[in-house]
Amino acid sequence: MKERIVIVNQAANYLTIGFCNAFKLQFREVCLITGSIHVQGESLDPEVQVRYINKWRERPARKKLTSYLLACWHIVRLLRTKYRKHEVLFVSLPPMAYLLNLLVPNRCSMVVWDVYPDVFKVTGMRETHPLYRIWRRLNRKSFKKAFRLFTISEKMAELLGQYTSQEDIVVLPIWSIFQENNRIARDQNPFVEAHRLQDKFVVQYSGNIGLTHKVEVVVRLAELLRSHTSILFQIIGRGPRVPYLRAMVEEKGLPNCVFLPFQSDEMFPYSLSAADLGVVVLDESTSKGSVPSKSYNLMSFGIPSLYLASEDSELMNYTRRFGHGRCFRDAELEDAAQFIQELARDREKWSSYSRNAEQAAENFRRGNADRFVEAYIK
């Protein structure tokens, strides 16, 4: 059995918990440095030691950046003192935390599921920007020093290849919150009843609505299909762009597009079950650098997917490999609207996509956490 490892994520979720529990089976001591723990499904092994730091602040942007920098200070301090003899696995937040391996003597590894600084292109940042250039140089140094460098898709590995040899990158997929298809039948779903969805074909976007999330494409689809009264678009989530999107819907007069806040953990399975088609949106400038975890939750419930992303995204690869949905570029929204109509009127076609989604979900189960550990210690 291995000795000691500390896992770092400022906002620990079900994936971080899965990593901790999987490593606990192989390491004598597992510690977690985090600002918060959000349990969805799997609980954290009580033998995992938790060291709390400051919480991640989602907004406003100034407080988010401050929370990142303060967390980095705490992490460096802890790795240089309390955990100086531990191996380290950086996961997710703060997004620059993995660069701290340049400042500490520990053997460090990282799981990359958003590629920085590339994601900054969504904001219009150019590769010539000083921050972009500095981060790019630091990536090369950090990845060269890393013990293990994990990412979650082949396309992301291609993108990381600009910073390090692809031979040094371990590609392993993550997993869904749900480990089996527990989708709630429509006639037994209180969310469906509360929102009067019994006779609607529900096209649902559920997730963050931040400055980098181009959710307006959902509004544009609702506009294209405004005459199809049986098709309803739901936008569920929160973020700074919600007021803008609400104003957009009001200006266009779209009764077929509604907004709801994030649902509680208890209600989430019910709201997800209400979707006939799940929407996942990635900005085309950064589609190679991310795979939203909601993609796997949709698969687990056998819900067909509508991806709005670039041709070279992992989401496009998924549709070609699994046949559980379709992927369209921004310039192909009319084709996307046609796809929605086809699924809404052809139940047999919808069922075929649904079966494919459920089969695809078998590739994204909790056992993938154990595969990460196996690849780490081999």
Q: What confidence score (pLDDT) does residue 212 get?
A: 65
Do 33 and 116 meet the contact criterion of CB atoms below 8 Å apart?
no
Q: What confidence score (pLDDT) does residue 1 get?
A: 66
How crowded is residue 166: how many other Cβ atoms within 10 Å of its Cβ? 12
Question: Whole-angstrom Cα distance, residue 213 to residue 217?
Answer: 10
- Per the document, the length of the chain is 378
> Which residues are within 8 A (CB) of 373 and not within 5 positions of it... i.e. 6 or more apart?
19, 22, 23, 25, 26
Which of 216, 282, 264 is CA-nearest to residue 243?
216
* Domains, in order of start, for the chain: 2-173+365-377 (3.40.50.2000), 186-362 (3.40.50.2000)
How crowded is residue 235: how many other Cβ atoms within 10 Å of its Cβ? 24
Q: What confidence score (pLDDT) does residue 211 get?
A: 64
Q: What confidence score (pLDDT) does residue 289 get?
A: 79
Query: Beta-strand (E) ranges in the chain?
Result: 2-8, 11-12, 27-34, 36-37, 49-52, 87-91, 108-112, 149-151, 169-171, 201-206, 231-236, 257-260, 277-281, 305-308, 325-328
Looking only at the bridges linking them, the beta strands covering 149-151 and 108-112 are parallel
Q: Give rounded-to-5 percent helix, strand, coil for the chain.
A: 45, 20, 35
Question: Whole-angstrom Cα distance, residue 110 to residue 88?
Answer: 8
Give the predicted TM-score (pTM) of the model.
Answer: 0.94
Q: What confidence score (pLDDT) does residue 287 get?
A: 83
Question: What are the per-10-residue average pLDDT scores of the chain (378 residues)?
Answer: 92 97 97 97 97 91 93 98 97 95 97 93 91 98 98 95 96 96 96 97 93 87 97 94 95 97 96 98 85 95 97 95 97 97 98 98 97 96
Query: In terms of C-beta density within 10 A (0-12 exposed, 13-18 middle, 19 or more buried), how is residue 174 classed?
Result: buried
Q: What confidence score (pLDDT) does residue 59 get?
A: 78
φ, ψ at 77 (rounded to 5°):
-60, -45
Question: Whole-angstrom Cα distance, residue 150 to residue 139?
Answer: 14
Do 15 and 173 meet the contact criterion of CB atoms below 8 Å apart?
no
Do 214 and 328 meet the contact criterion of CB atoms below 8 Å apart?
no
Say whether the peptide bond before residue 94 is cis (omega within 30 degrees of 0). yes
Q: Quick one: DSSP state of residue 177?
A: S
Q: Measure the N-to-C terminal CA separation of the chain; round to a whole number of Å.
A: 12
